[in-house]
Amino acid sequence: MSKLLLLLHSSPPLPPPPFHFTTAPILHHRATTLLRASILSKKPPNLSPSLALFRKATLSSSFLSPSSSFRCRTFSVRAFDSDDSKTEQEEEKKESFHVKKSDEDYPSGEFDFQEIGAWNRFLVKLKMLIAFPWERVRKGSVLTMKLRGQISDQLKSRFSSGLSLPQICENFIKAAYDPRISGIYLHIDGLNCGWAKVEEIRRHIFNFKKSGKFVVAYLPACREKEYYLASACDDLYLPPTAYFSFYGFTVQAAFLAGVFENVGIQPDVQRIGKYKSAGDQLTRKSMSKENCEMLTAILDNIYGNWLDKVSSTKGKKIEDMKNFINEGVYKVERLKEEGLITNMHYDDEVISMLKEKVGVQKDKVLPMVDYSKYSRVRNWTLGLTGGRDLIAIIRASGSISRVKSPLSLSGSGIIGEQLIEKIRQARESKKYKAAIIRIDSPGGDALASDLMWREIRLLAESKPVIASMSDVAASGGYYMAMAADTIVAENLTLTGSIGVVTGKFSLGKLYEKIGFNKEIISRGKYAELLAADQRPLRPDEAELFAKSAQNAYEQFRDKAAFSRSMPVDKMEEVAQGRVWTGQDAASRGLVDAIGGFSRAVAIAKQKANIPQDRQVMLVELSRPSPTLPEILSGIGSSVVGAERTLKELLQDLAFSKGVQARMDGILFQGLEEASYDNPILTLIKDYLGSL
């Protein structure tokens, strides 16, 4: 059963410092508005380092310079004036607001397969003769890819295990033009990724079919997500005993208030943003009306998208698919009767049919090349490289931290200082005509997000920058995207989450139960606010907490409004901690265009004045270098895999301090098997994952 898991966010272990869940401001170029005078006043309220940096950036001459490459914005000096005259504001809006660009105004980036001419075919054959041995593929081969488990949005080194979305998509494109490849055989089993990645792969299946080659899918375990992907294939086979379940979609929320009461923990929480659910999980025993509204909207989008795309692909009516799910079908035979699969066959039987398809005799072995080997085939050998125009690709995937920890491993999240180096590399080099920031992150360290925002904005002053969103680009992930000229998201990308939760735990009753005592000697009225976890907050401390949270929310909300060129009251309507799907975010001005990475490339070409039919060179600046643990892991050492998990966990624990621009509470069908675990272990897993 497909799940939309609502994960727990709790406090760090004893003694707990205050926890902060803040959201990311958002950048938009459609309209210009006034920035609240409180942020830009000479004596602003106590700003966090990231907001202080923002204030400095907004007052800098480079930001206000008329030569700025933010060509779609026009800032008047009056926009930074504290005079709140209604007439003046209305005149300013008339001068600065721009006509909104609709999704149709951007190029689609649709794949256009073009047959290779005789001369180019000769050159390709010549290149294949001199290719490296590991790039050799027998003519008439079938490309096999096992799509199972997690799919990373980062590139993988040769020695890294696991699947990489960019390499999967690249394999589809290479196979379409490779004369040695007859078709593709997909094994789809237990996907553990978000719907945005599934949508990207599904799009590439349809694109590959334009080459006239076949795509066959085999599903030993089939649920809604796996079927959604496989439905794009020409033929779809399940074994007669396949694990099959089309029962629908669910959303879950976990609440700890009752647990805290039993163990003697009292959370002191200030929640700003009525949709910010992290506070609810700590203080409530049931789902709030606002949280239910938000999660219901997300669930409806998932369900509606599934019904629409599957029914359209299979020539069914949406109502028929609804009825099929509601019947509680459990026999694989019904799938065949309804025309939802081609037939029921075992893997060896499907391979025998593939032999007939490619003209291989029954007693011969079907020539096959797997995902790992084919990923090493360079585009050069297929004549797919070329083009003098270079576009830089910078990938940012995972939780955000500011600096690299001694425990950090290659590819373990977004390290701000490392990503900034890549951004500066793209900015300082004149050879790149544009840049694409590919984001797959729920956020993290707010200061790191702000520093990267600044660098991306500087990059956007020198060349077009497009933000391309994957499964999640919320809070800190959205913070990064806001500096781009254009933001592209998939229909079901999770984004938004503009809100604040701050608080601390009172552990006095727990301490009494376990016989623990804690005494503090302090100087200063509020010195014990963070340290005194053995008692509840005093009224004056609680008031300071409330004011601090409200101030942080207003500053982030106002910065988001300014960045997206949106009136503050309009931003307030879409903020308040609410998470949106990409389609809903686009309709509310938080996203510019709906599509995948290919559309981001097309828009980058448009912004850089590169003809759409001209080939460009995509240069990956985030290409990983293999580390010794990765090499050992690639060989198959489970010990190294366990060590990696432990190190990443310790790293998260060590860097969980400070303001967090992190999406709270939602993972988009992330750990599919979590619902079958022990509920207490699941809560612990969720807690550790939220640090």
Instruction: Give the count of alpha carbons within 13 A of 187, CB side only.
Output: 17
How long is the chain?
691
DSSP assignment of 283-341, as one string?
Answer: H-SS--HHHHHHHHHHHHHHHHHHHHHHHHHTT--HHHHHHHHHTT---HHHHHHTTSS
At 470, phi and psi to the nearest 5? -100, -130
Instruction: Give the count of alpha carbons within 13 A of 3, CB side only.
Output: 18
What would the two tokens of residue 579 be?
């998470």
In sequence order, the 6+-apart residues with CB closer than 8 A to the CB of 85 are: none
Place of tokens 């007052």: 59
- The amino acid sitting at 429 is S
| Residues 2 and 529 sit within 8 Å (Cβ to Cβ) | no
What would the two tokens of residue 518 be?
């804690």
3-class SS of residue 281: helix
**Rounded-to-integer distance, Cα 29 and Cα 169, Å:** 30
**Rounded-to-integer distance, Cα 147 and Cα 169, Å:** 12
User: Within 517-637, where are the H helices?
Assistant: 539-563, 568-574, 582-587, 597-607, 628-635
What would the two tokens of residue 24 be?
């990311």
Q: Is 379 exposed, middle or buried (0-12, 13-18, 19+ CB in 10 A)?
A: middle
Place of tokens 């014990």: 528
Q: Which residues pair with 486 in a beta bridge?
A: 466
| Residues 28 and 563 sit within 8 Å (Cβ to Cβ) | yes
Instruction: Show which residues are catalytic.
Output: 475
Q: Is 166 exposed, middle or buried (0-12, 13-18, 19+ CB in 10 A)?
A: buried
**Rounded-to-integer distance, Cα 574 and Cα 458, Å:** 27
DSSP assignment of 643-666, as one string?
Answer: HHHHHHHHHHHHT--S-EEE--SE
In sequence order, the 6+-apart residues with CB closer than 8 A to the CB of 558 are: 35, 36, 38, 39, 568, 571
**Rounded-to-integer distance, Cα 314 and Cα 217, Å:** 15
